[in-house]
Amino acid sequence: MASSPSSNISKKLCLDESLWANCGQWIKNARLSAAKRVEGQGLPKRRDEYWNYTRPDAFLKEKIDFDVVSNKSFDIFSNNLSTVIDYEDGVLKEKKLPVIPGCSIESLQDAAKLDEHWAGAVYGVPEAAGQDPVKRSLAALNTATASQGLLLLVSGKVKNPIKISAVSNGSIDSTIHHIVKVEPGAEVTLIETGHYGARANVVLEVEVEKDGSFHHIRVQDGQQHNSLTHIFGRLGPNSTFKSFTLSVGGTVTRNECILELLGDTSSATVAGACIGDDKFHHDDTVFVTHGAPNCESRQVFKKVLRDGAVGVFQGKILVKEGAQKTDGYQISQSLLLDDNCQFLAKPELEIYADDVVCSHGSTSGAIDEEALFYLRSRGVPKTKAIDLLTLSFIAESIEEVENSELADALLMYLTAVLEVR
């Protein structure tokens, strides 16, 4: 019954009193227009081009049919943070949000009570823009129904990272919508760790204005969780956007990242690494649009698969007419630890400017036998040697993380994850 939710979404939305209690006008408008997008487009189907490799079923089923076993999370990124904001089972834990110099933090649920809010100009806007040319109806559904999320208005250079730490131990279906607006010349680093629910639909919309900088580090752990995430980023002149995601657990995960470089000399990096086995299915779907000249973008993805795991990469660079001197780069690589796993890659370039540099590559390979022998000849047992080479394989993507302290923390975390695997 995958088709019913879309046709009834506005109706359902109107009936869902929890969404409308004390609701201000700006959010009503945003939710209703998002609901219309879902109705107009319909929900994803298996024969849709961009759902060819990942079945949308996991995100469409009315009910989630598994119980999540509580799992221990490694404590990652605990030093030098501006603040930590906790989510438990998809709900913000803090009653009072911290005050940080250079950044105001509000909850979506509080802001929704007001009739007017700065977020009205952002909430659902990059998401709506990101529906063309590829439909992303589940993101619109998120905009229409999310009642939890954070609104970050960054006006200064925030020195230390802001961390969102999510835990969920129950059979929770959660919808989270975060918004970040980086004002001219401002800077912030946002870290997200854990999982918001047994099944989560997460949207992060980011507007980076002139000379602004947004860094994002995400660690997705968990066990049988299903996650669908969308990042919609829009970059102003000379701005920087960098996002890195490490996924070490979950069942079906699809991380979409849709970026538009709208101002000259802006720069975007989206990178990620994942490790999984058995029923692990990990999909990175990236769409970078160069809409202004002299911009650069990088996509760097590494997947380590074992014992039946499936990795998917669909990455596109679209260079619009007039976006001259574009420098686009894309690489996706998989390390297949046995013969049972699969890596499905679909790199795409679509270029309408004549003075650009765009390169892409994709590889699949097994463990390097020379390197394995070298390590073993030094006394390192085979399993440990494979772990070290796995780390070596992923390390290249972690190099995309500019903050060396955070990059080191990721490597240490990864080492710990490999040890208990």
Partner 1 sequence: MLEIKNLHVQLEEEDKKILKGVNLSLEAGKVHAIMGPNGSGKSTLSYVLSGKKGYEVTAGSAHLEGNDLLAMAPEERAAAGLFLAFQYPVEIPGVGNMTFLRSAVNSQQKLRGEPEMTAGDFLKAVRAKAQNLKIEPDMLKRPVNVGFSGGEKKRNEILQMAMLQPKMCILDETDSGLDVDAMKLVSQGVNALRDNKRTFLVITHYQRLLDHIKPDIVHIMAAGKIITSGGPELALEVEKNGYADLLEETA
Contact footprint for partner 1 (CB under 8 A): 368-371, 373-382, 384-385, 388-389, 391-396, 398, 411
Query: How many Cβ atoms sit within 10 Å of the Cβ of residue 378?
Result: 8
In the complex, the smallest distance separating the C-beta of residue 371 from partner 1, rounded to whole angstroms, is 5
**Measured CA angle at 355 (ends 320, 285), to 5 deg:** 45
**Minimum CB distance to partner 1 smaller for 32 or for 380:** 380
**Minimum CB distance to partner 1 smaller for 257 or for 414:** 414
DSSP-based three-state secondary structure for 53? coil
In the complex, the smallest distance separating the C-beta of residue 20 from partner 1, rounded to whole angstroms, is 51
Q: In Å, how far from its chain's centre is CA 401?
A: 15
In the complex, the smallest distance separating the C-beta of residue 140 from partner 1, rounded to whole angstroms, is 39
DSSP-based three-state secondary structure for 36? helix
β-strand partners of 281: 252, 310
**Minimum CB distance to partner 1 smaller for 111 or for 398:** 398
Token pair listed for 265: 């000399």
Token pair listed for 193: 């760790």
For residues 167 and 195, the answer to whether their CB atoms sit within 8 Å is: yes
**Minimum CB distance to partner 1 smaller for 172 or for 385:** 385
**Minimum CB distance to partner 1 smaller for 318 or for 414:** 414
**Minimum CB distance to partner 1 smaller for 287 or for 393:** 393
In the complex, the smallest distance separating the C-beta of residue 332 from partner 1, rounded to whole angstroms, is 17
Pairing relationship of beta strands 187-194 and 213-220 according to DSSP bridges: parallel
Token pair listed for 147: 């009642």
In the complex, the smallest distance separating the C-beta of residue 272 from partner 1, rounded to whole angstroms, is 16
**Measured CA angle at 247 (ends 288, 158), to 5 deg:** 65
Q: Report how far apart, in Å, the C-alpha atoms of 104 and of each of 27, 148, 151, 179, 189 are.
A: 19, 17, 8, 12, 14
In the complex, the smallest distance separating the C-beta of residue 308 from partner 1, rounded to whole angstroms, is 25
